[in-house]
Amino acid sequence: MVIKSAEFVCSNTQISKLPPPVKPEYAFIGRSNVGKSSLINMLTAKKGLAKTSQTPGKTQLINHFIINDDWYLVDLPGYGYARISKSKKEDWNKFIRTYLDKRESLQCVLVLIDSRLEPQKIDLEFCNWLGEKGLPFVIIFTKADKQSSLKTDQNVALFKKALLATFEQMPDYFVTSSENKTGRDEVLDFIDGVNKQY
């Protein structure tokens, strides 16, 4: 898939104000500081489309970007960031889960996992929640350039093993690096394939 255009559409905290659910949507989510904004900018080849930040928990809204006037890339707030009040965190979780569970045009959730880390409980719990809800998802391992490919392979294998404790089979997954553009074609081809069935 060639990205011809990528434009910011809107930011929301209210499900009712989202764009009409008439085009396929792909939601990107992960733990805070997993490299989500960098990945979105790399995939769209548009520097600064998603705002990157050194402060974890920066994305606190649902951000819609229209790609090629054809599909939406949806940037969701990171989960598991502790420096917001408990009540706000609960509202936030509810809002995100409602979006994921009820959005008719959502085709797939792309769950970002930091390839430098061994399996994290919060990531596994989120994947299990998606599984329980029957929501289609794939896994994107980020920051592969920050370590040897052997270390990445080891952590991917550990994550697969942890996930297979509750899943019958491992969902599709991609290993990416925003620096080196690793995995860009594979992720875009995957989205293209789903779009063709929409």
pLDDT at 59: 59
CA angle 91, 141, 1 (to 5 degrees): 100
**Residues above pLDDT 90, as percent of the chain:** 79
- At 65-79, the pLDDT tens digits run 999 999 999 999 888
In order of start, what are the domains of the chain with their CATH numbers? 6-13+20-197 (3.40.50.300)
Question: Is the pLDDT at 10 greater than 60, yes or no?
Answer: yes
Pairwise CA distance, residues 23 & 41, whole Å: 21
Average pLDDT, the chain: 92
Pairing outcome for strands 71-75 and 106-114: unpaired
Give the global pTM: 0.94
Pairwise CA distance, residues 198 & 188, whole Å: 15
Instruction: Tell me, rounded to whole angstroms, the distance of Cα 41 from its chain centroid.
Output: 13
